[in-house]
A and B are shown apart, each in its own frame.
Chain A
Amino acid sequence: MLIAVILGFIFALLVPFFSRFFKKAIPFIFPILPISLFIYFVGFLGEIKSAAHQLYRYEWVPSIGVDLSFRLDGLSLLFALMITGIGALVFVYTANYLKDHEYLDRFYGYLSMFMASMLGVVLSDNLMTMFIFWELTSISSYFLIGFNNNDPASRKSALTALSITGFGGLAMLSGIVILQSVGGSYSFTELLNSSEVIKSSSSYGWIIALLFIGAFTKSAQFPFHFWLPGAMKAPTPVSTYLHSATMVKAGIYLLARFTPLLGDTFWWNGTLVTVGAITMVYAAIHSVFRVDLKSILAYSTISALGILVFLIGIGTEKALLGAGIFILAHALYKAALFLITGIIDHETGSRDVSKLAGLQQVMMPVAIAGFIAALSSAGVPFLLGFISKEVMYEATLDLGQWAIILTVLLVLTKVGILVAGFWAGIKPFIGNLPSEFNKAHLPSPLLWFPPLLLGVLSLGFGIFPSLMTESLIQPVFSSMSGADTVIQLKLWHGFNLVLLLSVLTLVTGGLLYWFLIPSEARFQKTLRYESISPQNIIEGGSNLFGHFARIWTKFFQNGYLRNYVITILAFLTLLMSFRLFGGVNIHLDWDQISPVSSYEIIVVVLMIISILFAITTNSRTVAIVALGVVGFANCLFFVFYSAPDLAMTQFSIDTLTVLLFMLVLLKLPKNRSFSSKGMKIRDAVLSLLFGVLIAILTLEVFEEPSSSEISKYYADNAYILAKGRNVVNVILVDYRGFDTMVETVVLVIAAVGVYSLMKLDLNPSKKDS
């Protein structure tokens, strides 16, 4: 099982290393992967029927309870079959669709990676592992949407999709963590036992809210739906696979999976029904205003996802059964419609539904597939869509006081989906072939066989529902509802209200299709409401955030060094003052203070005057002389207070600095005054505050008794260990000799820098020429 899941990753990993050797063989190698996986999963059909679920556990990070454990039951098997089955068709289809594309190998790599991640999502029992696979699907979807990476619109859509689904993923992660802390495990199977505890805990609201955000973003529910139409920038096989059949259903899977664990509460059902209903109606209305085939299909997909959320929200056995069948029915017909759209686009170069017509004259098999898919989406009898629609109507009609309104909404949505399906599956094929499409011809069977096969499946399951009832739908239903009810699917229910509704849907939809000619003009009219669409509002919000970040950055990172210094020091001063405000604790012990003699006063006064001079003068020479005086006065302090080495060093270095300055001074321009008076005052105030603060801090530190153990050790052992009588020298060259050596290295580097800067003649005009 583990190998089955990660095989796709292995394939994807091998691509960059081996693809160049097998360039020609790639379209033949890759489809083997999903086909063999499909066969592998079909083999589980029998086992699932007899046992409720199967667990496969592989240890991964046991210390935090994260295992690679997989749970196979009806629901996950249905998804696994869809992922590998439709995957197989898409892989085959791609071989021709992107024939001779430069990056075909890369494309297959991304697809394999996606397939493996998606399998991981639906099979994982450990919620943490599921989250990782979940994020991986978002990432591979990002690569696939942005596959045409030369197109800016494509890149933008990819980024939008990634941000929306990534945001949802993070919310879901928080939800999972809270769930774990309440339920005590990451394992879904173990959590199932503590369902009641979780539902009654105070965090229940948080858990479902966060999980909902994850599911709604992934499954494109209102108001997060807008990334999905944008994702149609991807090549058509991707739209088929990720954005209609599998990935967008991950959110549905999540909700269905958690229904037995978290479902059947007021907030769970209420939220899902509301969001699902808004989404399905909103998107159904939207879809009939579009003219681009992929756009129409995208909105009708959103609408279908809305129906699924809506049904899971209703949560009765009938509704869950309807959801289970509809997942399959929708995957079969919508994938077919997308593949057909891809063929039309491939052969005619157009996806404009208002122009396309009469293509059945040139591509009959495609037209047949299109008809079947469109009829299945409409819910015409003898097709799988019909059965799912019947069950859905039964489910909403059973609801007592809410029955009427919910049924009306569902019928409305179904009408919209019908029109969208007819436009995509029938409209391009009937009527007269426009002359501009004369060159279109029947493509290779690799292209038309997959949609036709899907159509045949829709038809087969529709006519003989018993083919799937017991083997697939029953386990799916049991794992979603947790109930043991034996289900019966029939093609013919007799004359009743449900059938009447079906007929009503068909007639209304048919009439609407007949009278509503898709037109560019009407699509343009909808654009005027663009400013209040969720897409605009959310994007506006994120732009606003970006704007704020830019202002923030500009304010603090404005590129002026002194502003950084001001910010840092002002903050430091503020912080310290706040601390000192709480009480300065200075008790000077006047006995310890050394007496002041007259020559010391002179030096101090001299120093203060020179500092003030250096600051205020406008003449460079005066400033340098004042600097020298400050240095020498400093030197005198060292002399007074027993530091002969310091005095010598300071003396020589000060002399050197002054000399160097004088040398450079000659080359510098005249001193100009750059700053305004206001700035000077501001800086002066800040500097004074800073100075006072340092002085107070020094006083405070001075209060602390100085510990001289280290000094004592050095002094006591200076001669005994190091044979030196000058302790400072011994410290520098012996105890800390290594430091001094490194310091010397630093000085050498500085010297080399100084020397080369002086000597190197870097004349810019010469360099440019």
Chain B
Amino acid sequence: MEILLIIIIGLLHAGGLYMLLRRSMFKMIIGLIFLGNGANLLIFLLGRLVKGKPPVMEDGMKVFTDIYADPVPQALVLTAIVIGFGLQSFAIILIKRVYKVLQTDDLDELNSTDEEI
């Protein structure tokens, strides 16, 4: 399974980078999201895969008795997902705004300063 996940991580990074290099801002954001997903999976994977043993204690217990999934990567990824969302939503709204003001979705047309607009 790990091998499959690694292939997916590679694919997400490759796809994300490819989309990031497009001129359309829309595609750029998709690329950004893919890269974020890929990185999250990567961190998650490095905490090792444990099936069906979440790092949650059963009621009444004070310590773990069984094996459990590594909680630290999970905490990291959780933070990353949330922050990533902040970034994505802002970026999405921004391209909407840019289009409204400049009537373009093409990054290369944003290459000038205010005066020339």
Contacts and interface: CB of A to CB of B under 8 A. Distances in A.
Contacts of B106: 672, 674
Q: Which of A640, A687, A699, A726 has the most CB of B within 10 A?
A: A687
B62 A620 contact: no
B11 A608 contact: yes
A81 B58 CA distance: 94
Interface string A167-190: 000000000000000000000000
Interface in B88-110: 88-90, 92-97, 99-101, 103-108
Q: Which of B8, B21, B86, B106 has the most CB of A within 10 A?
A: B21
A714 B75 CA distance: 11
A632 to B, nearest CB: 11
Contact of B13 (A566, A646, A694): A694
A267 B51 CA distance: 82
A743 B83 contact: yes
A569 B71 contact: no
A485 interface: no
Interface stretch (A288-296, A534-542, A703-711): A703-711
B48 A675 contact: no
Interface residues of A, number: 96
Interface string B6-48: 1111111111011111111011001001100110111011111
Interface string A713-751: 011101110000111100110001001100100110111
Contacts of B57: 718-719, 725-727
Given A711-B70, A743-B83, A660 B89 contact: yes
Contact of B30 (A604, A614, A642, A688): A614
Given A561-B107, A562-B107, A720-B62, A710 B21 contact: no
Contacts of A674: 22-24, 106, 108
Nearest to A735: B75
A646 B107 CA distance: 34
B54 A627 contact: no
A714 B99 contact: no
A461 interface: no
**Main secondary structure on A side of the interface with B:** helix
B107 A750 contact: no
A631 B37 contact: yes
Nearest to B63: A716
Nearest to B12: A611
A405 interface: no
B59 interface: yes
A716 B53 CA distance: 16
A743 B18 contact: no
A290 to B, nearest CB: 47
Q: Which of B42, B55, B57, B94 has the most CB of A within 10 A?
A: B55
B70 A706 contact: yes
A634 B33 CA distance: 12
A614 B78 contact: no
A518 to B, nearest CB: 52
Interface stretch (A70-78, A360-368, A661-669): A661-669
A706 B73 CA distance: 11
B61 to A, nearest CB: 7
A668 B64 CA distance: 52
A94 B79 CA distance: 71
B44 A560 contact: no
Given A615-B19, A687-B14, A754-B93, A714 B72 contact: yes
A627 B33 CA distance: 8
B63 A671 contact: no
B109 to A, nearest CB: 10
A675 B106 CA distance: 11
Interface string A617-654: 00010010001001100100110111111100110010
B40 to A, nearest CB: 7
A593 interface: yes
A735 to B, nearest CB: 9
Given A641-B50, A650-B81, A715-B68, A753 B59 contact: no
B99 A669 contact: yes
A615 B18 contact: yes
B69 A694 contact: no
Given A620-B26, A642-B69, A649 B61 contact: no
A662 to B, nearest CB: 10
Given A657-B33, A706-B48, A747 B72 contact: no
B69 A594 contact: no
A607 interface: yes
Contacts of B20: 562, 565
A614 B14 CA distance: 12
Contacts of A708: 70
B19 A608 contact: no
A565 B49 contact: no
B21 A594 contact: no
Q: Which of A671, A690, A695, A758 has the most CB of B within 10 A?
A: A695
Contacts of B104: 669
Contacts of B24: 671-672, 674
A627 B62 contact: no
A623 B33 contact: no
Interface in A670-690: 671-672, 674-675, 683-684, 686-688, 690
Q: Which of A638, A650, A711, A739 has the most CB of B within 10 A?
A: A711
Contact of B3 (A593, A637, A732, A750): A593
B46 A702 contact: yes
A302 to B, nearest CB: 47
B55 A727 contact: yes
Interface in A549-584: 559-562, 565-566, 569
B48 A694 contact: no
Given A627-B33, A727-B71, A664 B92 contact: yes
A695 B10 contact: yes
B62 A664 contact: no
B51 A560 contact: no
A64 interface: no
A694 B105 contact: no
Given A560-B111, A690-B14, 8 more contacts: A604-B4, A608-B8, A650-B81, A653-B85, A702-B2, A706-B46, A719-B57, A728-B75
In order of increasing CB-CB distance, the 7 nearest A-B pairs are: A691-B14, A695-B10, A750-B86, A642-B69, A674-B23, A687-B18, A725-B57
Interface of B: 1-15, 17-24, 26-27, 30, 33-34, 37-38, 40-42, 44-59, 61-64, 68-72, 74-75, 77-79, 81-90, 92-97, 99-101, 103-108, 111, 117
28 contacts: A588-B3, A594-B2, A600-B1, A611-B12, A611-B15, A634-B37, A634-B40, A637-B5, A644-B56, A646-B78, A657-B89, A661-B92, A668-B96, A669-B99, A675-B23, A686-B21, A687-B13, A687-B14, A695-B10, A715-B63, A718-B57, A719-B57, A725-B58, A726-B56, A726-B57, A728-B55, A731-B75, A757-B97
